[in-house]
Amino acid sequence: MNQDKKNGIGYIFAGGVFLVLDLWIFSSFMGGADSVSVPRILYVFYSVLGFEITSLLFAIVAIALIAFGIFKVVKAKNPEVDTAVAE
């Protein structure tokens, strides 16, 4: 397995982590603060930015990381993808 494919899998995994964190934030607000405990760092994010903005930012970061990871994996399997995108 070459380095680009490993990096792509890492980006996909990181995007999944952000997606889980986003769902965690969303479920804490939909179910009430008593039903789901949220880590302090997430509490700082959504107390400063607000629930909607924090959830949106985490979702955008998750989608971007997953898309970039898929691109890296496809590029590792087929190197011509990079030149096709450039043209």
pLDDT at 40: 73
Please, what is the Cα angle at 61 between 60 and 62, to 5 degrees? Answer: 90
Domain count, the chain: 1
Structural domain harbouring 26: 3-86
- Ranges in the chain, pLDDT < 50: none
Residue 72 and residue 13 in contact, taking contact as beta carbons nearer than 8 Å: no
> Residue 8 and residue 75: Cα distance in Å, rounded?
9
For residue 5, what pLDDT is reported? 84
What's the pLDDT score for residue 55?
82
pLDDT at position 81: 63
Measured at the CA of 45, the angle between CA 20 and CA 36, to 5 degrees, comes to 50
Residue with tokens 């760092």, as numbered in its chain: 41
Residue 31: per-residue pLDDT: 64
31: which DSSP letter?
Answer: S
